[in-house]
Amino acid sequence: MTAHAQELRQIAQKMVATGKGILAADESSGTIKKRFDSINTESSEQNRRDYREFLFRTTHAMKNHISGVILFDETLRQKAADGTSLCQVICDTGAIPGIKVDTGAKDLADSPGEKITEGLDGLRERFAEYHELGARFAKWRAVINIGPGIPTQHCLNANAHALARYAALAQEAGIVPIVEPEVIMDGDHDIDRCFDVTSAALKALFNALEEQNVMLEGVILKPNMVLSGSTCAVQASDEEIAEKTIQCFKENVPSAIPGIVFLSGGQSDKQATSRLNAMNKIADLPWKLSFSYGRALQAAPLKAWCGKVENVNSAQSAFAHRARMNGLAACGNWESSMETSS
């Protein structure tokens, strides 16, 4: 660990640079197919490559608002149309390439409705290869569902343990781990229930990270915001979401963590931006607060592109706009009027 400690700290700090956030472009083959189906475009390897390449070549947005890009295994190995590796295309903008390493959430044994994320087998060897290919950070997502009698402490502990084992292996390889304990927003629970479950998930996570001797200064946290369930009759305001999320994190996240990059988790583009902005207007935060959005950055450019080369410029403009809006929100400088004026 000591051989990589300073490098890990530097990478983590760069990942949460002021006004920048992370583009989550790590959709699995199945997920990207669903996205492409929605725009009547075949999910071929070339189309996937072309789509991601034009995002990464949106130079102004990448240089000014994106600190890193999470990639799927296929993308990390792909080359752009001119023969340059997509990893290098990202590096040329000043952003850092990262890699999704978990193999997905599966049913947790004897725990109906609960999930455990797999992918630890052979991870040390995969990390060595990913580092050679250019990845300098990684991501592992745990899925925490809210429902009658769940999540159980068993589920929280099992996922926290897996996250911590992954994080330790990542740091051993000189790779900064993003730890993502996502409390899913599906359900009719209220915001206070989400607060309690998110608190419990974070407590379990940081206990496990301590047990595994993970260096917190070289870790980035990617959590959910504290929200009302998607079908709850009473939806909390952006201000209440911001206040409860900050309260939850101040109570449960050590100040040694350099930054928190929120997932969008089914929120609309503007909701994800507005709520991040509201949080960054709250003073005296011990960590940077930014974004690690997938759909909330990509939905607009995907719709503009529709798989047609003649639409690439429009799609890049849509991506640049969303990246800029979230970059402003990461500084608490976004205003809703900016959505129609740029």
Residues forming the active site: 180, 222
CB 104 within 8 A of CB 118: yes
The per-residue DSSP string of 252-270 comes to: HS-TTS-EEEE--TT--HH
The CA–CA distances, whole Å, from 205 to 46, 71, 209, 227, 245 equal: 39, 24, 6, 20, 17
Task: Work out the burial of residue 150: count CB atoms within 10 Å of its CB; fewer than 13 is exposed, 13-18 middle, 19 or more buried.
Answer: middle
Tokens 């400690």 identify what position? 5
DSSP-assigned letter for residue 187: S
For residue 233, count other CB atoms closer than 10 A to its CB.
8
- In this structure, what is the dihedral angle of CA atoms 223, 329, 336, 38, given to the nearest 10 degrees? -50
**Within 13 Å of residue 7, how many CA atoms lie on the same side as its CB?**
14
Considering only CA atoms, which of 276, 320, 301 is closest in space to residue 62? 320
- Interstrand relation of 21-25 and 288-293 (parallel, antiparallel or unpaired): parallel
The residues with which 290 forms a beta bridge, in sequence order, are 261
Burial of 207 (0-12, 13-18, 19+ CB in 10 A): middle
Give the three-class secondary structure for 275.
helix
Can you tell me the distance from the alpha carbon of 43 to that of 33, in angstroms, rounded to the nearest whole number?
5
- Amino acid 68 reads G
